[in-house]
Amino acid sequence: MQRRQLLDELVSKGIRLTSQRRAVISVIQEAKSHLDAGSLLDLARRLEPSLDRATVYRTIGLLKKLRLIDELDLMHLEGEKHYYEVRTEGDHIHLACFGCGMIQEFTSPLFDRLKEEITRTAGFEIRVARLELGGFCPKCSSRHRGEEEEKTKTSVKH
């Protein structure tokens, strides 16, 4: 039933279901990695060949507004794209490795406590929480030591 989650949610809100929306939603839900709008379009077009870029963006906008998906930057490791994932129970943290591009997810009760503290202390009503960390995964961490000073003088990427 995990798979009908988003669809049901839309129906219950009285949102019109079209084959295009079904295609986009299906792709987001089956996705094994975080997809950007472009990949989403390519994959969904296999189910609905006439699907247009604009419709993908509009559907993303809709799902974002309904808080059914979350938007991520993943430290802009490869361009200024945005990535999307189905919203889950608890928020999780994304770790992005500058070395190999790996994305890892992480959950912690401390994160929930932190959000709770903010709600309480600042009186802020949290709707979206995005915590992204950039750095080096264990493998790349040992590998990149010593390359620092040089890099400064060469390419200024990211």
Using alpha carbons only, what angle is made at residue 63 by residues 50 and 16, rounded to the nearest 5 degrees? 60
Q: Do 93 and 105 contact (CB within 8 A), yes or no? A: yes
C-alpha span between 16 and 134 (Å, rounded): 39
**Total residues in contact with a second copy, by rule CB under 8 A:** 51
Q: Does 16 bind DNA (CB under 7 A)?
A: yes
Binds 112, which of a second copy, DNA, none (CB < 5 to 8 A, cut-off by type)? none
Residue from the set 3, 4, 46, 130 that interacts with a second copy by CB under 8 A: 130
Give, in order, the Cα–Cα distances in Å from 46 to each of 42, 67, 71: 7, 26, 23
Instruction: Please identify, using beta-carbon distances, which residue of 49 and 138 lies nearer to DNA.
Output: 49
Both tokens of 4, joined, read: 């009908």
18 binds, among DNA, a second copy, none (CB under 5 to 8 A by kind): DNA
Site for DNA in 59-118 (CB under 7 A): 59, 61, 79-82
Site track for a second copy across 39-78, x = CB under 8 A = -------------------x--xx-xxx------x-x---
Figure out which of the listed residues 30, 110, 146, 147 binds a second copy, where binding follows CB under 8 A: 110
Quick check: 106 binds a second copy (CB under 8 A)? yes
Q: Give me the residues that bind DNA (CB under 7 A), please.
A: 15-21, 36-38, 48, 50-55, 57-59, 61, 79-82, 153
